[in-house]
Structure formats: structure tokens, C-alpha cells
Amino acid sequence: MNYDRKLTGVVIDPGHGGSDSGAVGNDMLEKDYTLLISKYMYDRFKELGIPVTLTRDSDVSLDPTNRVNKILNAYGNNSDVIVISNHLNAGGGTGAEVIYALRNTDTLAKKVLESIGAEGQTTRKYYQRRLPSDTSKDYYFIHRNTGKTEPIIVEYGFIDDSNANVEFLKENYQRLAEAVIRAVADYKGFNYIPPEGFVSNSYTVQKGDTLYGIANKLGTTVDELKKLNNLTSNNLSIGQILKIPEKYVQDGEKNIYVVKKGDSLYSIARENNTTVSELKTINKLTSDVLTIGQTLLLPSATVIADTYTVQKGDTLYGIANKLGTTVSELKNTNNLTSDTLSIGQVLKIPNSNNEQNSNTITYTVKSGDSLYSIAKNYDVTVDAIKKENNLTSNLLSIGQILKIPTTSITETTYVVKSGDNLYGIARKFNTTVDELKRLNNLTGNLLSIGQILIIE
Ligand SMILES: [Zn+2]
């Protein structure tokens, strides 16, 4: 790595805008996505102390001449200026591409694509494209007409790809932006600091690292790391970005979870539809401290039970606590006249649909979240969330529980949580998958976390 490389500034170019929507697919316009990811990127470069500008910061039309002028006027016609032109592809395909100018080397494009791949998006290729009528020139104006600057076009994925990949793009735009920022930082030698609470899906090789050491650190094996990253030798280079293996391994009927960096009992419980206390019970844990690489047993059933089987040592009070209900509620639901329980007795779990206050819902912060993205998801303002939670700053931590003020949410809506599916939700509310799909105009069965469903 070359740490004396200068960076005068970064120009972020949200592709298209205004009357030019760009590509369209999956109920999304390219121009909206490029603006979303660009504005996030802009804020983050600012946060890192890198001079940065946007060619547009709202939904306005920008013809090629104006766009190029904005780029050249930002920090001058200078090879130390990086231009990141954000786009989505269309026309059939899966994955990301990076296109770089004929005047530049492939170093930056390669890094950006690798970094995007490490965050979980499929990668296709990084390449240059020539104008057919004059092959000494770039095909795209953003390369051809931008002087000495170093421009890259980043195509994060295909807007007309499967619903699942487009959902991935939407849910992970911050993660993808971080991937690009991290690659630029590595290329230009400035210090990349992830935002508070951001857990990367990748590992950047540091001085002194070995495959063996990294495998140990991540709770995996050298072989697995090599396979995942298509490594043919054990050689690593500083700054190289490695994918981290999937965390789940299947062991017969039991699910085993291998603790990785950034995990907490709380986040693992949430992700696996269980509770911290259940995890602690199953694994006989006496504290909340986890170590990377530690294996945890997960409750085998992914279906959320609506009964509880009394175990040795249980009391009504203890069970009520465990299930987030009260003794009287438990007794009511099960027509119990005394507090005496017998081992193996099956109790119905009181319906918890009314657990949520009608004016707020709770939301657990997950990796990649920001106050801005959460507010946007629930159609409320950042300030409203801050006020409701007495927050004095915008920093969030993973697993943090936020109350989201809402007026639009009533008992007849449901906010999709990790692990939910239409079938489970239909069952919970005594309705059918078809009815849910009809009410919510759903064409497929895919849900996204935080999505609000109308129940009746
Ligand atoms: Zn485009």
C-alpha cells in the first residue's frame, strides 16, 4: 500500500435524477436509490474528515454537461480527485460491477469491487469500456469528459434482478456504501473508521496477520477461509479484504451457532427468535460474556411455540417472567385455580398481540442501522425518535432498543421482525397467507425486517 497518495477530494455522483429516472424495476427507481446511497456516503466521508461534494443532493435533472462541470469545478481538474458515480444496472444479471477510465489503473476499481463482495453482494467484474466509434476514448461520459480526475462507475446490482437481491440492495445500502468508502480509504491511505455499531462482514488483513491467526480469531479454519476467498496459497497482503464464513452450521436436529465478532447474547437471541434467558439456560451460561469462536446451542424449533412445558424447578412466577407475562395472565389463560405446577404440564402462553403500547413500537437496532434509516422506515422524524428515547446524540449501538413513536400504527398492523414469514404471521393473527397478501398487495412471499403489514 502506498500511504503518500494524495486525495484532494471526493465527488459523489448520484446517477440520473429529475426527469431521468434511470433504470426501473421491483417498484424502485434507480435515481432514488443512487441518491439514497450517495447522501449516506457523503455524510460518512464528511465524518471521516475527507473533503467531499455531491453533484446533486435532491431529485433534480442534471445533463451530462452540468454534471461534468460540477465534477471539474469541485476540486479542479486534478488526478487526486476521486469521482464515485453511483448506479444500478438493468437488463438481466446479478451482482455488482465497477467501470474505470482508460487513463487509470485498475487498482481502485478492483478494491471497490472486492470490498462490495466482502459485504455479501455478488460481484461480476471491473472493467473499462471503449467508445465503438473511437476506441481511444471511454464509452461513458463520466470517464471521457472528466479531465484528469479518477472516476469510477459503481453498479451495485441489477434493479430488475430477483426480488431477493433487490431487497438485499435496499436493506444493505449503508453496508455497500461503507464497502466503497473502506476501499477508497485503503487506496488513498487514510484511516477508515466504521460507524458506531457497524459490524463488517469482512476482515481486512493487518500487518502481522496470518491465515491461521485470522481463522482462530474468527472461529473458523484456514481451509474454510481459503475456500471462501478462492485463495490458492497462504500468502496474504496487508489491506486485503477477506470474506468471513457463514456463521451457521447444522448439527443434526440441533442448531449450533458460532460466536463471531460483534455478537452479543441479545443479538443472537433476537436473530434466532429466542431469548437471552433461554440461550443461557440451554447453554448453561452463568454470565453474558461470549468469546469469538464459542459455540452455542440454539433452540431447535424455529416455529414460535404457543405452549410451554413445565420443567423441574419452574414456578408460575418464573415462567411468567420468562415469557414476558404475569402470573395472573398465565392462570387466566390456563384456567389454573392454584399456583401448583407439575413437571411436564403444558401451559398455553397468553396471547401477546397487545404487548405493544398503541403509541410506540419497539425496535432493536441492528448492524448497519442509523437513526436516519430507522426514521425513514417508520415514516417518522429523527427528532421524534430522539425525543421519545431521550437521546442526546445520533449514535446507536447494535441491540439497543428504541421506542418508535407512531400514529399510523394501530393494533391492526404488524411490524415484520427477523425470522418472520407470512405463514407464521398469518397463524399468529388467525388469518391466512392469502388474506395477508391481498391486504398488503404483496405479489411474492418475501418480507423485509421492519416492513409494516396490515393485518385486518
Ligand atoms: Zn445508471
Centre of ligand 1 to C-alpha 139, Å, is 14
Domain assignment present for residue 193? The answer is no
Positive or negative torsion for Cα 291, 300, 432, 356:
negative
Distance, in Å, from the CA atom of 97 to the CA atom of 406, rounded to the nearest integer, reads 39
Specify whether 82 is located in the same domain as 150: yes
Domain assignment present for residue 322? The answer is yes
Please state the domain count of the chain.
Answer: 5
pLDDT of residue 78: 94
Least confident of 218-227, 299-308, 314-323, 395-404: 299-308
Determine whether 446 is exposed, middle or buried from the number of CB atoms within 10 Å of its CB (0-12, 13-18, 19+). middle
Domain assignment present for residue 384? The answer is yes
Domain assignment present for residue 281? The answer is yes
Centre of ligand 1 to C-alpha 154, Å, is 9
Centre of ligand 1 to C-alpha 445, Å, is 28
Residue from 346, 393, 343 nearest 370 by CA: 393
Domain CATH number, residue 214: 3.10.350.10
Domain assignment present for residue 3? The answer is no
How far from 229 is each of 182, 217, 241, 261, CA to CA, in Å? 18, 17, 9, 19
Domain assignment present for residue 194? The answer is no
pLDDT in tens, 277-327: 878 877 778 888 888 777 777 765 333 446 777 877 788 888 877 776 788
Centre of ligand 1 to C-alpha 276, Å, is 45
Specify whether 180 is located in the same domain as 82: yes
Give residue 131's pLDDT band: very low, low, confident or very high (50, 70, 90).
very high
Specify whether 39 is located in the same domain as 69: yes
Centre of ligand 1 to C-alpha 100, Å, is 15
Centre of ligand 1 to C-alpha 404, Å, is 35
Centre of ligand 1 to C-alpha 64, Å, is 13
Type of residue at 141: F
Specify whether 175 is located in the same domain as 253: no
Least confident of 102-111, 177-186, 223-232: 223-232
Residue 44 above 80 pLDDT? yes
Give residue 140's pLDDT band: very low, low, confident or very high (50, 70, 90).
very high
Specify whether 16 is located in the same domain as 161: yes
Residues of the domain holding 54: 9-188
Specify whether 232 is located in the same domain as 154: no
Specify whether 360 is located in the same domain as 442: yes
Q: How many CB atoms lie within 10 A of CB 185?
A: 21
Give residue 406's pLDDT band: very low, low, confident or very high (50, 70, 90).
low
Domain assignment present for residue 2? The answer is no
Specify whether 217 is located in the same domain as 159: no
Centre of ligand 1 to C-alpha 30, Å, is 7
Specify whether 225 is located in the same domain as 104: no
pLDDT in tens, 239-263: 777 877 654 332 333 466 778 878 8
How far from 42 is each of 84, 98, 139, 185, 199, CA to CA, in Å? 11, 19, 27, 14, 20
Specify whether 206 is located in the same domain as 264: no
Least confident of 105-119, 169-183, 208-222, 225-239: 208-222
In the chain, count H helices and then E strands. 16, 21
Spatial contact of 292 and 303, defined as CB atoms under 8 Å apart? no
Centre of ligand 1 to C-alpha 169, Å, is 15
Give residue 85's pLDDT band: very low, low, confident or very high (50, 70, 90).
very high
Mean pLDDT in residue range 138-162: 96
Specify whether 277 is located in the same domain as 327: no
Specify whether 183 is located in the same domain as 38: yes
